[in-house]
Structures are given as C-alpha cells and as structure tokens.
Structure 1
Amino acid sequence: MKETETLKQLVLEALKEGVKLYCEKEAHNVSFGDLRIRIEYSREESFGDYSTSFALENSKLLGKKPLDSAALLVGYLQARTDLFEKVDFTSPGFVNFRISSSFLIRFLESTIQKNDIFPKLENPKKVNLEFVSANPTGPLNIVSARAAATGEAFANLLKAVGHSVDKEFYVNDYGNQVFLLGVSTMVRIREILGESSSIQENAEDGRSIEELLSQNVIPAEGYRGDYLKIIANQLLENQNTGKEIKSHLEKKEYSVLAEKCSRWTVESNLVWQKRDLDLFGINFNRFFSETTLHEAGKVLGVLEDLKKSGKIFEEEGKQLFKSEDYGDDKNRVVVRDDGRPTYLLADIAYHNDKISRGYEKIIDIWGPDHHGYIARLAGAVQALGYPKENFQVIIAQQVNLLMAGQKMKMSKRAGEFQTMEDLLGYLGKHAKDVARYFFTMRSLDSPLDFDLDLAKDESDKNPVFYLQYAHARVCSIFREVGTNSDQKALENLEMTEERKRLLFWISRFPEEVLDAAATLEPHRIANYLQNLARAFTQFYITKNNRLKDSDESTRLGLARICQAVRVVLAEGLALLGVSAPERLEKED
C-alpha cells in the first residue's frame, strides 16, 4: 500500500480532480496551484464522513460567494458514484462527503482482510529515538514511566509505516551529580557501620566537600532517598565491594571511596531501572553511557568541529557556543575557565555520535524541566551540519497522580516520590496494560492527570477495559457461531446505519495510523479505538446484527465485519503496547 492509499487520501484526490474541473470551467483565471485544497473529518456525523472548507478558504481567489462555489463544486464531485454515496454542501460553504457502502467494503477487503493495514511511506528513514534517559540516581519515577510508554508507542507507529527505528537510553553516568550520589551512598554505608551522620541543609554554610566527607554529611545537593540504604547494605554484604569499602574507610580515603560508590550506585540503579522497564514491556536497542564519550575524547573533540563552523568564541577564559544565533536567549558556555567541559558540550558530543551513526532522523523525549534547553542543542546540531528539520525534541509534561481527587506529591531528592515500580505494584495484575494506555491517551506535551481510582476500576468505565471487552466480545461471537465469513455475503448485506458507521470507522484505521505516526501522537490511536469500540457496541446491541439469530448469508456477511473489528482492535492496542485478550470476566 502506498502512502496515498488511505481512505482520506482517496477522498482528497477525488476533491482535487473536482477542483481541477471547477477551475477549467468556472474560474479560468485561477491557477490550480494557488488554491488551498484540504479535507477534514466532519464535525458532526450527520453531515457526512468528510468535509472541505475549500469554498470558504479560497473565496477571494475564486471571486465567488462561498455557497455559490460550494454548489458548483458539488456538481463536479457527484459524478464519482464509485466513491461517494452523497456529496452536498452546507452554510456557510462546506462541502460534505458521504462514502458509499460498496466502496467501504472494497477498501476493507483490500486492506484489513488482506493484512495490508499499515500504509508504507515511499521514503522511510533510519530513526534514532531516545527516551526515558533518566539519571541513574534513583528508581524511575512517574514522568519516566510516561515517557517510556509514549516512546514505545512512537517506535511502534514509526515502524508500522516503514521507518527503521533504534530505541536508545542515554545514561548520564558522568559529572558532579554522580559524585554526589556516591557521597550520599557512602554516608549511608558509614551509618550502617555505626558512624553518626547528618544532612547539610544549606549549601552556603561554608564547609568544603572534604569537610563534609570527613564529617559524614550528605551535601545539600545530595540524595536522601531510602533506596540508597538498600544499596549501601548490598554493597557491604557483597564480599568484594564490602572488603574494598572497609579498607578505604580504615585509611579515611573518603574521596576515593565516594568515587567508587558513585560507580557502584549507578550500576545498581541501572539494574533496577532495566528491571522496571522490562516489567513495563519496554525494550531498548542500546543503553549509551556518557562516560564512554569522555573516555574516547569525543566531548572535547566535538568542540573542534564547532570551532570549524565559526560558532565558538572565548570570553573571560571560557569557551562559548553562539546559541543566540539559533534563537536561544543567550550564548552558552561549553568549556569552563578551568578547562572542564559543561554538560551541554557532552550532550552535543552525544548527538554528534548519533549523526555519525547515520541516523536520518533524531527524536528525543525530554522531561518537563528541559524546555529551555531545546534551542541551544538544536542550534549546535545545525552548526554540525545536520538539517534542522531532522532533529526533534518532544517534552514529556508532568504527571499528576490523583487518588480520591487529590494530587500526590513527588520529590526525588527527598525520597518522597512515586516510582514506576510503585505504580505497577498498585495497579496489580493489569498494571502494564492500564498504565501503558493511560500514559498514551493524552498528548505527551500536555500535563496528565492519572486517575488511580479509574485505573483500578475493572469495569468498562475504565477505557482500557472498554476496548478489551470489545475485543473479547468479538471473540466470544466467533466461539458461539464459528469464524466462517464471506466477502460476497458482505457485498450483498443490507446496509443499515449502524453497519455502515462501523464499516467507516474500520476503514479509517490506516489513515489514523499514518497521521499518528507523522505527528507522533499515539493518543490519536487511543481516541480512534474508543470511537471504533462505541460503533461496534452500537452494532452489537442492535437486534438484527445478532449473528446467532441470522440466516446463513447475513451471518457470513456480519462475521466479515466482525473479523475486521477484531483485527483493528488488536492491531491498534498493540501499537499502544496493550494486550487484546480473547476472554475477560465480562464479555456481554
């Protein structure tokens, strides 16, 4: 299937043909290429399946009143009886299209029934999709869980339309924050061994890091979560690390031990994070370590590449990138006056590494506090010669967990945060399906209220179970009457309104996938599936659609529709990372 072979694109092509005829006969002085021609879904189903505001949007160019242009255009479109059952217009100048049942059946047979559901792009790309990339300083939190679910759905959509996708997790295992993590773990180790400890409340209290290490104090910017106590115990109980720890403590080699604790704690946190991701059904092609960039000299090496582009200058002993040239509010330091590279330079080096690996499209999902970082990194990527349009950053906005209508608080440093593990444990046996769906049913760039009470509800009030019940209901129909169906019987089937509506919603699936992949909006699939399930429910509760009570020809035709519903529900849920069970406790 080519990109244009979705129902919506076929309607658009028919519209363009009609507009060409209109221009030839009614508007000789108007160039076809100057006109804006587009279609959209009708705002109300009673008007039709699709509509166009062509007459309104081009009224000045056409030199006619919108209603007059709409009326004339309808005349040229009505000849397409193979595609349209009805073409009419409504005030103030909309042209409305109703697709014929016979065309919907042919489209269904050429796509869904032939397992050729997903439109394939003519020019697919090699894509690097980076998501989650949580700092290895603690368990994955709820925003990371949202990024994980949505990132996986992005990958599924992109692959469905033909792109090659590598999923990547960037491990920030280098720098001061990692050292502070090690210090925090070391404090917990010394607590277990009987030393007193404290927490620095104010970073401006004047004590140096050496003093804090000596006095067994967690720095103000350190980490306080109880998970560090678990790691500290594990390190002490391990024969090898336990021996090293005690040796360094006896010699009061606190800085050396803190560095080792940094590495050990990062490794432990990564094990936890990978385990949680695995439980959530998220798999990465690669975990990329920031440390490897520094060890290979790539961080300072990319500085030379930026200098060649003329985008680096020196000021007060610092090296700055001219990020103002790319829309940033100021130029950014990439090398400090003591010669140490900033985090930005490491991030530039990381993306330069992605470019060197031949990715034609780079997509990053970042956390809610990184919006201001986009311009500087996007600018650096351009300065390296990478096309602006091929680099995309999407911000995963905050998640508000609601219980009994009240928001729950999150704070990683203080340890008062809800983790992915907490959420999955709370949601129980259906956790993966429910969480994956809830995280993808709203746009990623909007804050999400995650209703824990609704997520725990196993009735069809829960949107996940509503879809799964619909799929299980189709399966139960086939268990009752068998899976035989017939295309000819479908073609001869009387087309009632609920049957036709269901056919239309089934036929929309390929274009919904294409649009969701192009815009990276999996919530469009979630919304579409709800509409499809509602159309099926209306079909199912209508008495003359009961397969077991129908004559053979009618049953075989209805079964053909139900088969397509089952396929689309299963494929759509799979794109979101949700299972489509054949049996549930509630099917009727």
Structure 2
Amino acid sequence: MKETDTLKNLVLEALKEGVKAYCEKEAPHLNPSELKVRIEYSREESFGDYSTSFALENAKQLGKKPLDSAALLVGFLQTRTDFFEKVDFTPPGFVNFRIAPSFLISYLESTVQKKDTFPKLENPKKVNLEFVSANPTGPLNIVSARAAATGDAFANLLRAVGNQLDKEFYVNDYGNQVFLLGVSTLVRIREILGESSSVQENAEDGRSIEDLLAHNAIPAEGYRGDYLKVIAKDLLENSNTSSEIKAHLEKKEYLLLAEKCSRWTVESNLIWQRKDLDLFGVEFDRFFSEASLHSAGKVLGVLENLKKSGKVFEEEGKQVFRSTDYGDDKDRVVVRDDGRPTYLLADIAYHSDKIQRGYQKIIDIWGPDHHGYIARLAGAVQALGYPKENFQVVIAQQVNLLMGGQKVKMSKRAGEFQTMEDLLGYLGKHAKDVARYFFVMRSLDSPLDFDLDLAKDESDKNPVFYLQYAHARVSSIFREVGTDSDRQALEELEMTDERKRLLFWISRFPEEVLDAALTLEPHRIANYLQNLARAFTQFYIAKNNRLKDSDERTRLGLARICQSTQIVLAQGLGLLGVSAPERLEKDL
C-alpha cells in the first residue's frame, strides 16, 4: 500500500475536501491551503475515532466562534456517508469523526487480508543504521542490550516502509584501550602459568608499560573483569596460540606478546558478543573494523577533505576542527602535535566512508554518556558536505533493573547483574521475547526501569504474554471451529460496539507502522498492540461473539475479524522482534 493510503491520511483528505467546501460557501476570501488542517485521535473513544481542532486553530481567519465554524464544517462532512458513520462537534469547537464499519471492512480487505499492511514511502532511502558498537573489551552490558533490541526494531520498521537498510556494528579495534586489553589478558595468562601478579591502582608513580609487564602488573587503566581469565585459559588451551605464547614468554618478549594478546582478546570478545546477539535474535549485515580505516590510510586521509571546508586550523602544532561553528562548546583537536590522529578523526573517517558508500541517511545509536559528542561529529559530517538532516543520532539512555521494587546494582563481583548474558540467563526460556519487548516498551531517549519480577511473570500481567496469549487465543479458536471466514458474512454482521471498536483498532495498524518508522519510535507499536489486544479481549468475552455458539454465517463473519486481528498481532510482534506462538501453556 502507498504511504498516502493509511486510514488517518484518508480521513485527512476527506477533511480537506470539507474545508474546501466550507471556504467556497462560507469564506470565499480564504485560501484553504493557508489554513491549519490537522487530524488527531480522539481523546475519548466515546467521541469518535478521529477529531480535528480546525475551528479552534483557525478562528481568527474564519471570523466566527469556533462552535459555529465547527457546526458548519460538520454540515459539509456529513455528506460523506460512504466514509463516515457519524460526524459531530463538541465544545469548545472540536469536530469528531466515526468511520463507517462498511468502510473499515473494505479497508481491511484491501490491506490486512492481503497482508499489505506496511505503507511504502514515496521516496525511500538507502540507510545505514549503526547500533550496539560496544567496545570489544568485554561482554555486552544491559545498555547495549537495550540498543540491540531497539536498533533491530528500528531496522524492521525502516525496511517495512520501503527503505533499503544495512545494519552495522562498528568494531573499535584500534588504539591504546585495545593494547591495554592485551596487556591485561597477558597478566592473566601468566597468572595461570604460575607467576604472581599485582594490580596497579594508580599511575602516579610513572611506571612504564615495560616495567609493569616485567612485574606482571595490570595498569591502572587496564581491564580486571573475570572474563579475561576465561579468555586467557582458552588461549592457553588452543594449540596455535599456546605455542606462540610460550615462545614469547620464554624470550620475555612481553610487548610483542601483549600486541598479539590484544588481537586475540578482541577476536574472543567479538565471538562472545556475537553469541549474545544471536541469542537475542539480532543479526548485523556488517561488522566494520576501525583498524581497517587506519591501515587503508583513510583516517589521516579524511583530514584533507576537512581542510577543504575551511573548518580546520593549526594551533601549537595541532590540527583543530572548528566544531564551535556547529554548536560544540569548544573546538576539537583532530591530529595531535606528534602527528597521531585523535579518536574524533577516526570517527569522522568512518562516517566519511559511510557517505562514500552511498547512504542517503545515516543513523547512529549511542550510549548515554555521548550527548556532548553529537555536535562535533554532526558538524564534521556537514563540513564534508553531507546534509545536516540526513545524519541522526539517537541516545540509548540508562537501564535500571528492578527487583522487588528496588534497583539491582550491576556488579558482577556481588553476584548481581552486569551483562546481557546475565539478564538472558535470569529470564530463562522466554528471555529473547520478554527482554526485547521490555526494552522497546519505552522511548529509547528516556531512562528505562526494567522490572525483573514482571518480566519473569508468565501470566497476562506480563505485557509480552498478554499479546502472545491474544494471538494464541485466535489459533485456539480456529482449532476448535476451523479457519474458514467470509467477507460477505462480515458485511452482514450486526455491528455492535465491541465489533466496531476492534475493526477500527485493526485498521489503525498501517498508520501506526508509518508513524513509528518516521519517528524511530518502536514503543508506539508496543503501545498500539496493547490497545489492540484489549479491544480483542473485549470482543472475545462478549457472548454474542463466541464463534462456537454462532450460526454459520455469523461464525464466518466473526472469524474474518479474528483472522485480521491475528495477522496484525503477528506482524506487529514481528516488527519488535518478538515471536507470535500459536500455542501457549496458559490462556487469557
């Protein structure tokens, strides 16, 4: 279906026609295109399906009291009996619309029943979506898990509306932090082999890396996680790496061995991270290595393009990017006085590479401590000639794990939660579905309270199971009465309130998908599905909607509604990366 064919857009077009007729008869001096004409969902379902504040927002231009303008507009809209079941107005000047059931049925038949529920953008883009991108210095943490779930939902939504999209994971496998990781792993290897070790708590004594390695000490900025002991053990048990390790240790070639341990540890951590992502159902189209940018000369190479923009100047031997021109609080060094590029220049080179690969839209999901980084990188992207509006950064805010209403500290030493693996292990057999849904229930740019008790609850109090039970309930019904349904039988049904309400909520799905894709807000789909499931529950518990107790024509019509509900539930859950089982251990 086309972007313009959502139910909400069809209502808007009908409203515009009504406004045009209003102006022609009541205000010929006005140009309808210059008036504010907007549609929103009714605040109260009893008022209607949609409403407009047209009479209020344009009161000055119309020259009438809002209630009078609303009454006149209703008169022009009531002629669309093929579309509207009811059009009325309420104080202080809202016009309310109720869609005719016959139109809803026709709409569902042309969209949901054909499984054509994802409206396609008129101008889709080639999109690069980068998310997670956790440093390969350890396991994925809880914020990375949130970014993974939400980023994957972003991708599903953007692809659903017609964009060509690549999911990318940026591997920070270059620089001092990676070398310190190798040093830390080497200390653990030597521990296993029987050498004593120490932890260097501060670097104020000026000890060099060479001296620290000689004494088998982890630097102050090194890594101390127990996972390095596991990696060290694996490296010693691997015949290929073990022989190299022992050869270098025998010659006391600690620096060279630390470099090799850096590479091996990064590779091990990436395998670990990919395993966690696989368990989470998140796949990437590309893992992009930062080291590959340096080896190809692209990091220092991008400096020349920045200079062409006139936004780079020299200061005390350093090359400085004039990021204050783009809202940063100070200008940023991109090349140090010794000729070494900064981390910022590597990031600029990476995004330059994305631009050169032809992406028309670049979206990054970053962690909660990266707000200040946005202006400088966005400015650099603009300096390279890339349109400002085509680069977007979304911040994944902090996650608070709650148990018994209290925050759970993410401390591995205390035997509590720290990693994605910990969380998935705690949640058990439904971990993937529950975790992914809980992570997308709230906007990514707001802190999230993750209720572990609710996540473990397998009743319909858990929002994930509530949706899955609704989907499984339809399957249960069909197993009992068969899957036959009929459009004409649906058209013949008496339209009770709960039937009309459910038809409307099903019909809203395409516009919810479009809005969620355009705003990058998958939590809107989660909220929508909860409302749809509630409407289905009200439909299901009504005695006159029991398929097994109905005559054949009624049953075939009701089955058509159930079938549409199931299609939308399955597609909506799929967008969020959650399964839609046909059987569950418990029912609603």
The one-letter amino acid paired with 2:532 is L
Structure-2 residue corresponding to 1:509? 509
Is the Cα contact below 8 Å between 2:59 and 2:66 reproduced in 1?
Answer: yes
Is the Cα contact below 8 Å between 2:50 and 2:97 reproduced in 1?
Answer: yes
Name the CA distance, whole Å, in 1 between partners of 2:127 and 2:417: 33
Please identify, of 338-347 and 87-96, the stretch whose mean Cα deviation from structure 2 is larger: 87-96
For the residue of structure 2 that corresponds to 1:4, the secondary structure is helix
Structure-2 residue corresponding to 1:307? 307
Name the CA distance, whole Å, in 1 between partners of 2:558 and 2:267: 56
Name the CA distance, whole Å, in 1 between partners of 2:583 and 2:465: 12
Structure-2 residue corresponding to 1:426? 426
Structure 1 residue 412, shift from structure 2 partner: 8.6
Is the Cα contact below 8 Å between 2:36 and 2:54 reproduced in 1?
Answer: yes
Deviations 1:536-580, CA, capped at 9 Å, x for gaps: 000000000000111111111001100101100111110001111
Please identify, of 189-198 and 224-233, the stretch whose mean Cα deviation from structure 2 is larger: 189-198
After TM superposition, list the pairs within 5 Å mapping 1:227-238 onto structure 2: 227-238=227-238
For the residue of structure 1 that corresponds to 2:334, the secondary structure is strand
Please identify, of 269-278 and 33-42, the stretch whose mean Cα deviation from structure 2 is larger: 33-42
Is the Cα contact below 8 Å between 1:152 and 1:282 reproduced in 2?
Answer: yes
Identity across the alignment (%): 86
Please identify, of 136-145 and 25-34, the stretch whose mean Cα deviation from structure 2 is larger: 25-34
For the residue of structure 1 that corresponds to 2:248, the secondary structure is helix
Structure 1 residue 20, shift from structure 2 partner: 1.2
After TM superposition, list the pairs within 5 Å mapping 1:58-137 onto structure 2: 58-137=58-137
Is the Cα contact below 8 Å between 1:317 and 1:336 reproduced in 2?
Answer: yes
Give the 3 Å change call, closer, same or farther, for CA 164–412 of structure 1 in structure 2.
farther
Is the Cα contact below 8 Å between 1:236 and 1:242 reproduced in 2?
Answer: yes
The one-letter amino acid paired with 1:572 is G
Structure 1 residue 21, shift from structure 2 partner: 1.4
1:475 pairs with 2:475: yes
Structure-1 residue corresponding to 2:349? 349
Name the CA distance, whole Å, in 1 between partners of 2:537 and 2:416: 43
Structure-2 residue corresponding to 1:368? 368
Structure-1 residue corresponding to 2:335? 335
Say how many residue pairs are matched.
588
Give the 3 Å change call, closer, same or farther, for CA 97–155 of structure 1 in structure 2.
same
Give the 3 Å change call, closer, same or farther, for CA 94–59 of structure 1 in structure 2.
same
Structure-1 residue corresponding to 2:190? 190
Is the Cα contact below 8 Å between 1:311 and 1:383 reproduced in 2?
Answer: yes
The one-letter amino acid paired with 1:271 is I
Give the 3 Å change call, closer, same or farther, for CA 205–69 of structure 1 in structure 2.
farther
Structure 1 residue 339, shift from structure 2 partner: 0.7
Name the CA distance, whole Å, in 2 between partners of 1:84 and 1:243: 79
Structure 1 residue 27, shift from structure 2 partner: 2.1
Name the CA distance, whole Å, in 2 between partners of 1:37 and 1:314: 53
The one-letter amino acid paired with 1:17 is E
Structure 1 residue 416, shift from structure 2 partner: 7.3
Structure 1 residue 378, shift from structure 2 partner: 0.6
The one-letter amino acid paired with 2:230 is I
Give the 3 Å change call, closer, same or farther, for CA 203–33 of structure 1 in structure 2.
farther
Q: What's the RMSD between the two structures over aligned residues?
A: 1.4
Provide structure 2 residue ranges, at least 5 long, that are not aligned to the other structure.
none
Give the 3 Å change call, closer, same or farther, for CA 495–562 of structure 1 in structure 2.
same
Deviations 1:333-379, CA, capped at 9 Å, x for gaps: 10011111011100000011111111111111111111111111111
Is the Cα contact below 8 Å between 1:440 and 1:523 reproduced in 2?
Answer: yes
Name the CA distance, whole Å, in 2 between partners of 1:83 and 1:406: 51
Name the CA distance, whole Å, in 2 between partners of 1:65 and 1:355: 53
Name the CA distance, whole Å, in 1 between partners of 2:412 and 2:342: 23
Name the CA distance, whole Å, in 1 between partners of 2:31 and 2:411: 60
Structure-1 residue corresponding to 2:381? 381
Structure 1 residue 411, shift from structure 2 partner: 5.9
Structure 1 residue 235, shift from structure 2 partner: 1.0
The one-letter amino acid paired with 1:116 is D
For the residue of structure 2 that corresponds to 1:115, the secondary structure is coil
Is the Cα contact below 8 Å between 2:189 and 2:232 reproduced in 1?
Answer: yes
Structure-2 residue corresponding to 1:151? 151
Structure-2 residue corresponding to 1:584? 584
For the residue of structure 2 that corresponds to 1:378, the secondary structure is helix
Deviations 1:302-361, CA, capped at 9 Å, x for gaps: 000100111110111111111111111111110011111011100000011111111111
The one-letter amino acid paired with 1:290 is E
Is the Cα contact below 8 Å between 2:417 and 2:423 reproduced in 1?
Answer: no
For the residue of structure 2 that corresponds to 1:536, the secondary structure is helix
Please identify, of 206-215 and 496-505, the stretch whose mean Cα deviation from structure 2 is larger: 206-215
Please identify, of 289-298 and 245-254, the stretch whose mean Cα deviation from structure 2 is larger: 245-254
After TM superposition, list the pairs within 5 Å mapping 1:164-563 onto structure 2: 164-410=164-410, 418-563=418-563
For the residue of structure 2 that corresponds to 1:185, the secondary structure is helix
Provide structure 1 residue ranges, at least 5 long, that are not aligned to the other structure.
none
The one-letter amino acid paired with 1:530 is Q
Is the Cα contact below 8 Å between 2:408 and 2:416 reproduced in 1?
Answer: no
Name the CA distance, whole Å, in 1 between partners of 2:104 and 2:435: 34
Deviations 1:239-259, CA, capped at 9 Å, x for gaps: 221122122222222211111
For the residue of structure 1 that corresponds to 2:3, the secondary structure is coil
For the residue of structure 2 that corresponds to 1:287, the secondary structure is strand
Name the CA distance, whole Å, in 1 between partners of 2:386 and 2:412: 35
Structure 1 residue 415, shift from structure 2 partner: 10
Give the 3 Å change call, closer, same or farther, for CA 103–334 of structure 1 in structure 2.
same
Please identify, of 423-432 and 60-69, the stretch whose mean Cα deviation from structure 2 is larger: 60-69
Is the Cα contact below 8 Å between 1:222 and 1:413 reproduced in 2?
Answer: no
TM-score, with structure 2 as normaliser = 0.98
Name the CA distance, whole Å, in 1 between partners of 2:224 and 2:413: 6
For the residue of structure 2 that corresponds to 1:449, the secondary structure is strand
Is the Cα contact below 8 Å between 2:348 and 2:381 reproduced in 1?
Answer: yes
Name the CA distance, whole Å, in 2 between partners of 1:417 and 1:326: 39
Is the Cα contact below 8 Å between 2:382 and 2:388 reproduced in 1?
Answer: yes
Structure 1 residue 203, shift from structure 2 partner: 2.9
Name the CA distance, whole Å, in 2 between partners of 1:480 and 1:239: 59
Is the Cα contact below 8 Å between 2:471 and 2:581 reproduced in 1?
Answer: yes
Please identify, of 38-47 and 240-249, the stretch whose mean Cα deviation from structure 2 is larger: 240-249
Structure 1 residue 414, shift from structure 2 partner: 11
The one-letter amino acid paired with 1:419 is T
